Chains A and B, each alone.
Chain A
């Protein structure tokens, strides 16, 4: 039903090739996240699936049907935009009724569907309000409500949470994940925030300059990044990269080690250095250490009582070292 297949999809804006030939298969019911730095083509790719951008080349199938040349409204998809894109002059109810009206659903059924969606999304009390009278989180819910009433075969989200404050973002993340559990529909979710990607995705597609760098489950990307880009992009705080003699000694032109895989000690260790910044969160301590092999970030569980200027020793976990060749590919 909601499987989506992109074959040799290309997008050019004039001369600029934003998406070089790209293949991707998304299974029915999967929660897939497109993640990558801003400007890498995530939105463009999503909009091509939606039908809001033409394909320069290639084709797209949804549920086995070639939709490459269908209008956006005929693809059976629903989209939630970053700005919510609620119709400002319509009430919440009218906003949610609109897609049903366009689909010529009879008025009674439509009202029931809207009532049910409103209940699920805690919007029942706000149905007669205009979008201007709602908070950001409520607007986001209306946008989601407008998407679910159509019962689309897949949902497309383009950075839907980036206009919300941090606390609300975490809440909405959970709500969207729950929605996915309940509906079981395919969802494609675009974000530049790798934490969102890691927490929500069944599979993550990491993009850079329109190319797919790696596709995999969050843990696959974390444990076996295919290259330096993915290794650096996934995981927070960022993986440390060490080059030169020390890297060669450990068996590769470049080695990568995640901050959580380094043990800090006041007495002894492989790399010695001076603390330049220490962040004490209670649950964790983040240390930025200037060592002989370059700056290294360390994350230790619990409180670790050192301060700027103190000397610390660092012990990387040998088994957690990632090795990359000169081209940045994992060895």
Chain B
């Protein structure tokens, strides 16, 4: 009895130790960046664990004066719009794939996987050529469409899986109760699949939010997103590490509340738990 309980405690302690070690390891860069962001330019290359002569908010002020806040707003607008568009189109699409009979579902799943897996380099060049002719370079519409090529397959794929976990009988009960397919989707299926929907929305937003490549190719200045704007702090002559540190914090901060709020749903949806 005593032995097993001691063994159990040791195991538990070991488990915690490992968790702490992992947490420390993954948080280290974050702490580093925060410390970096508060240092004056002159103290940037001193050892990070030594306190500088004076802490400063200069980096934050210079970021605030730069184009970076506008780029952050661009990121919000494009990632947000693309996510909304993907949900608007993708959720009914996933519903149809999951709950309606169709002969070419196999083809659809194959195509979706291809779109999900293919590296963006694969279609960014043709996209660029088309955009030049269509006048979509450096426009919100252009970037939103490009992002939707990432977010839409993702939303369809993940909502298809979510909807598959909802019993067909729920849909049929709705139809018997006199609801149209649209009503069944809106009133019954979506509420029952809410964890999956929240997860799909958040992850789709992050997909667009974290993009660098599309923005680099498609935007010039007006619609440049934050990850690309960070590169403005790199010039031939020097790299403004303090500003980059502040910018990367600014890029990360908005994600935190979203993840915290959505965490419950994301965990549920990854666990595949939709209560029947």
Using a CB–CB cutoff of 8 Å, the interface residues on chain A facing chain B are 50-52, 71-74, 77-79, 81-83, 85-89, 98-99, 102-103, 132, 146, 150
8 pairs of residues in contact across A and B, judged by CB atoms under 8 Å: A50-B172, A50-B176, A87-B173, A87-B174, A88-B170, A99-B176, A146-B173, A150-B177
Interface: B126 (CB within 8 A) = no
When the two chains form their complex, are residues A85 and B173 in contact, meaning their CB atoms are under 8 A apart?
Answer: yes
Query: Which residues, 166 to 184 on B, are CB-close (under 8 Å) to A?
Result: 167, 169-170, 172-180, 183
Quick one: CB contact mask for B186-215 with A, threshold 8 Å, 1 for yes? Answer: 011001101000000000000000000000
B197 to chain A, nearest CB (A): 12
B181 and chain A: residue at smallest CB distance: A71
A2 to chain B, nearest CB (A): 16
Interface: B65 (CB within 8 A) = no
When the two chains form their complex, are residues B276 and A87 in contact, meaning their CB atoms are under 8 A apart?
Answer: no
When the two chains form their complex, are residues B170 and A87 in contact, meaning their CB atoms are under 8 A apart?
Answer: yes
Interface: B2 (CB within 8 A) = no
Interface: B133 (CB within 8 A) = no
Cα A108 to Cα B99 in complex, Å, equals 34
Of B173, B174, B188, the most chain A CB neighbours within 10 A belong to: B173
Taking CB atoms, residues of chain B closer than 8 Å to A52 are 172, 175-176
Using a CB–CB cutoff of 8 Å, the interface residues on chain B facing chain A are 167, 169-170, 172-180, 183, 187-188, 191-192, 194, 274-276
Taking CB atoms, residues of chain A closer than 8 Å to B192 are 87-89
Cα A146 to Cα B173 in complex, Å, equals 10
Q: 13 other contacts beyond A73-B175, A79-B173, A83-B169, with CB at 8 A cut-off? A: A50-B176, A52-B172, A73-B176, A73-B180, A81-B173, A85-B172, A85-B173, A86-B173, A87-B173, A88-B170, A88-B192, A99-B177, A102-B178
Taking CB atoms, residues of chain A closer than 8 Å to B175 are 51-52, 71-73
When the two chains form their complex, are residues B177 and A146 in contact, meaning their CB atoms are under 8 A apart?
Answer: yes
When the two chains form their complex, are residues B176 and A77 in contact, meaning their CB atoms are under 8 A apart?
Answer: yes
A109 to chain B, nearest CB (A): 16
Taking CB atoms, residues of chain B closer than 8 Å to A86 are 173
Cα A71 to Cα B183 in complex, Å, equals 14
Cα A71 to Cα B180 in complex, Å, equals 9
**The 7 A-B residue pairs with the shortest CB-CB distance in the complex, in nearest-first order:** A73-B178, A102-B178, A99-B177, A85-B173, A85-B169, A89-B191, A72-B175
Cα A252 to Cα B84 in complex, Å, equals 75
Cα A150 to Cα B187 in complex, Å, equals 18
Taking CB atoms, residues of chain B closer than 8 Å to A87 are 170, 173-174, 188, 191-192
Contact among A72, A83, A88, A89 with B176 in the assembled complex (CB-CB below 8 Å): A72
Taking CB atoms, residues of chain A closer than 8 Å to B169 are 81-83, 85
Given the known A-B contacts A52-B172, A87-B188, A102-B183, are A73 and B177 also in contact in the complex, defined by CB atoms under 8 Å? yes
Contact among A103, A132, A150 with B275 in the assembled complex (CB-CB below 8 Å): A132
Cα A52 to Cα B175 in complex, Å, equals 8
